[in-house]
Each structure stands twice: as structure tokens, then as C-alpha cells.
């Protein structure tokens, strides 16, 4: 197990170890695994969206198992209450006092499965948690233990018994990662691994909590961001708000997420302590795709789901225009 992170090369080694362990059980999603690592090492929450059966929940669980951190899973349902997430005070008849029973949110990694099945009142219980890493219950505010990360899954094709995630909720996720069907080669690999291993899963923990905290601090303190990169991020986010095709563009929170993700990409993917514009371009789609509400000018209709390819085309064109 990796217990110490001293420099950028150690960060890369840690991510390589994570990928190696996860790939024993999940195949076909190397980019998703890398972005989960970026989220963990930069303090970002991740939304994984995809059709049923693409191993969204399984991947999130395997990822959490590779890190020596506390983990809880919340299965979202229409009758899920805020107190089911945060916890509540329960009267103790023996002491005649209210005892606090902590909810599953008091954990290092929290998997919120099928988040869009939770009603709006329950979804709102995550707003303070995701933005400020603290929970307020009955007027008492408690900071959560670090590191803290939420990984949520979402099924985009089911509508019965689901509730749309409002922009305020989506904006708190650093990235939305799209998991559709894997390639033919990945399908074969999946079947081979399943045939050999069966249901046996024994994930090895490869990194501890102190290393995650050290990696986060190192990336923030030692990975520099030149002025031209800051200007590019600012220009990209502002451009999404100044085009007729976009009803709702990138917020200041989105710009900060883009900055942090670019730092993580430079350190984890390239092993560099200096962010480039190419790092920003590499993470821009994953960071911004869920934050944009795009207007369909051709059909005269407004829609929140303009299609992944259309959003990607828009972002690519925007990035080219501000160079």
C-alpha cells in the first residue's frame, strides 16, 4: 500500500496502482478511472451517467475499495428522506436526551446510486455537503472528515419515478462522465474475466487516506497555472455565456472546477507541475457538459439534453474561437 506522496511522480505511481487494481475487475473505461482519480486527488465530486448495465455502480464501488477510506452507499428511492442521508437526533428514553445518529454522509467516499431517483427535498440535503463539506442538523454544523468525495450514478433513459437534477445540484459536480456501451474488444474482455473469476471479488487497497490528502495538497501547491491558461479558462467559460445557442453557460464554480481538473490532469496524466492549455482542453468536455443548457435553434425548442455530440461540437468550436 502506498502510504506517502512526496512529489508528482508519486502521484502518478499511485494512479497507476489504482488503475492496475481496478482493471482486474472493470475493463473498457480507462478515461473514467483516470477522472475518478483526478476527482479524488483534487477534491472534486463525480457524476457517472450511462445506460443500465454498464457497471457504473460497480466501478464506483471497486474504485472506493482500492483506497483505504471509509465508504458508504446510499440507494436513492422516491421515498428517501434528508435524514436518511445526514442522520438525525433520536430520543433516548434511558437518558431522557436526544442522541445523534450519524447518517451515511459521514464517510470519506459516499456513493449515491441513481441520484435522480431521490426527490428534490432529499437532493437538497447534498447541496451544503458538496459545496462546503459540512452538515447542518437542527442548527448544529459539523465538518466532515477529509478526504471527502461523492460519486453519484445516474440513468439518463428512465423517467418514471425520477426527478431531474437542478442546475445548482449539477454545478456541484466537478465532472459528468459518460458511460455508454463498451467496445467489442472490451465486451470480450468482460466475458473472459467473468468466466475466469466468477463472482469472486477481492480488491486490494493500494493507497491510504494520508496519501490522498498529501496528493491533493501537492497538486494544489506545486502545480502552477500560467497566466495564459487562466485567460483561456476565463475566455472559455465566458464564451459559453455569450452565445445564442446556450441558455445557461458555465458559472464561476465551473471555472474553478475546470482549473482544478486541469491541475489534476497535468499532474496525473502528464506528470507535470505546469498546466497547459492542452490540459484544459483535455478535461473541458467532462467538466462542462452537464452545466450547459443548450438551445436548439434549428427546431426552435429548448432542451437540457441537446445530445452529447452536439455539446462536444459546441465546446470544441468555442475553444477554437478563443485561441
Clarify whether residues 191 and 275 are in a common domain. Answer: no
Q: Are 291 and 250 in contact (CB under 8 A)?
A: yes
For residue range 34-69, what is the model confidence (pLDDT) as tens digits?
Answer: 999 999 999 999 999 988 888 899 999 999 999 999
Clarify whether residues 131 and 198 are in a common domain. Answer: yes
Distance between CA atoms of 193 and 172, rounded to whole angstroms? Answer: 35
Backbone angles phi, psi at 34, to 5 degrees: -60, -40
What CATH number is associated with residue 47? 3.40.50.300
Clarify whether residues 104 and 154 are in a common domain. Answer: yes
At residue 300, does pLDDT exceed 50? no
Which residue range(s) make up the domain with 228? Answer: 223-321
- Is residue 120 one of the residues assigned to a domain? yes
For residue range 173-221, what is the model confidence (pLDDT) as tens digits?
Answer: 999 999 887 776 765 676 766 656 666 678 899 999 999 999 999 999 9
Q: Report which of residues 323 and 227 the model is more confident about.
A: 227
- Is residue 217 one of the residues assigned to a domain? no
- Is residue 218 one of the residues assigned to a domain? no
Q: How many structural domains are present in the chain?
A: 2
- Is residue 174 one of the residues assigned to a domain? yes
- Is residue 1 one of the residues assigned to a domain? no
At residue 235, does pLDDT exceed 90? yes
Clarify whether residues 192 and 133 are in a common domain. Answer: yes
- Is residue 149 one of the residues assigned to a domain? yes
- Is residue 215 one of the residues assigned to a domain? no
Residues with Cβ < 8 Å from 302, sequence gap 6 or more? 247, 293, 295, 296
Clarify whether residues 199 and 306 are in a common domain. Answer: no
Q: Out of 154, 176, 209, pick the residue that ends a domain.
A: 209
Clarify whether residues 228 and 286 are in a common domain. Answer: yes
Distance between CA atoms of 68 and 84, rounded to whole angstroms? Answer: 25
What CATH number is associated with residue 290? 1.10.8.80
Q: Could you tell me the pLDDT band of residue 132, with boundaries at 50, 70 and 90?
A: very high
Q: What is the pTM of this model?
A: 0.89
Clarify whether residues 84 and 205 are in a common domain. Answer: yes
Clarify whether residues 234 and 199 are in a common domain. Answer: no
Output the pLDDT for position 312: 84
Q: Average pLDDT of the chain?
A: 88
Q: What's the number of CA atoms in the CB half-sphere (13 Å) around residue 2?
A: 24
Clarify whether residues 34 and 158 are in a common domain. Answer: yes
Clarify whether residues 94 and 135 are in a common domain. Answer: yes
Output the pLDDT for position 219: 95
For residue range 153-175, what is the model confidence (pLDDT) as tens digits?
Answer: 998 877 777 898 999 999 999 99
3-state helix vs strand vs coil in the chain, percent to 5: 45, 20, 35
Output the pLDDT for position 302: 40
Clarify whether residues 111 and 247 are in a common domain. Answer: no
Output the pLDDT for position 317: 85
Question: From the DSSP assignment, how many helices (H) and strands (E) are in the chain?
Answer: 13, 14
Clarify whether residues 91 and 238 are in a common domain. Answer: no
Output the pLDDT for position 190: 66
Amino acid at each position: 500500500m502506498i502510504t506517502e506522496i512526496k512529489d508528482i511522480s508519486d502521484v502518478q505511481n499511485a494512479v497507476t496502482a489504482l488503475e492496475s487494481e481496478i482493471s482486474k475487475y472493470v475493463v473498457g473505461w480507462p478515461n473514467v478511472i483516470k477522472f475518478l482519480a483526478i476527482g479524488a486527488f483534487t477534491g472534486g465530486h463525480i457524476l457517472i451517467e450511462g445506460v443500465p448495465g454498464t457497471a457504473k455502480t460497480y466501478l464506483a464501488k471497486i474504485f472506493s475499495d482500492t483506497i483505504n477510506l471509509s465508504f458508504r452507499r446510499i440507494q436513492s428511492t422516491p421515498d428517501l428522506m434528508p435524514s436518511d442521508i445526514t442522520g438525525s437526533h433520536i430520543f433516548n428514553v434511558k437518558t431522557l436526551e436526544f442522541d445523534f445518529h450519524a447518517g451515511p454522509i459521514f464517510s470519506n467516499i459516499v456513493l449515491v446510486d441513481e441520484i435522480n431517483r431521490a426527490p428534490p427535498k432529499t437532493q437538497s440535503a447534498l447541496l451544503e455537503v458538496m459545496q462546503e463539506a459540512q452538515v447542518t442538523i437542527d442548527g448544529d454544523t459539523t465538518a466532515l472528515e477529509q478526504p471527502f468525495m461523492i460519486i453519484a450514478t445516474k440513468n439518463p433513459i428512465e423517467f418514471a419515478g425520477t426527478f431531474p437534477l437542478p442546475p445548482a445540484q449539477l454545478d456541484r459536480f466537478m465532472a459528468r462522465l459518460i458511460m455508454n456501451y463498451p467496445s467489442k474488444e472490451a465486451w470480450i474482455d468482460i466475458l473472459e474475466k467473468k468466466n475466469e473469476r466468477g463472482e469472486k471479488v477481492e480488491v486490494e487497497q493500494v493507497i491510504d487516506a494520508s496519501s490522498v490528502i498529501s496528493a491533493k495538497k501537492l497538486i494544489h501547491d506545486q502545480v502552477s497555472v500560467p497566466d495564459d491558461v487562466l485567460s483561456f479558462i476565463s475566455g472559455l467559460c465566458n464564451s459559453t455565456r455569450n452565445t445564442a445557442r446556450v441558455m445557461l453557460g458555465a458559472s464561476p464554480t465551473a471555472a474553478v472546477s475546470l482549473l482544478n481538473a486541469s491541475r489534476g490532469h497535468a499532474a496525473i496524466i502528464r506528470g507535470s507541475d505546469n498546466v497547459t492549455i492542452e490540459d484544459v482542453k483535455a478535461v473541458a468536455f467532462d467538466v462542462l457538459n452537464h452545466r450547459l443548457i443548450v438551445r436548439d435553434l434549428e427546431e426552435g425548442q429548448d432542451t437540457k439534453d441537446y445530445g452529447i455530440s452536439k455539446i462536444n461540437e459546441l465546446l470544441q468550436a468555442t475553444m477554437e474561437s478563443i485561441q
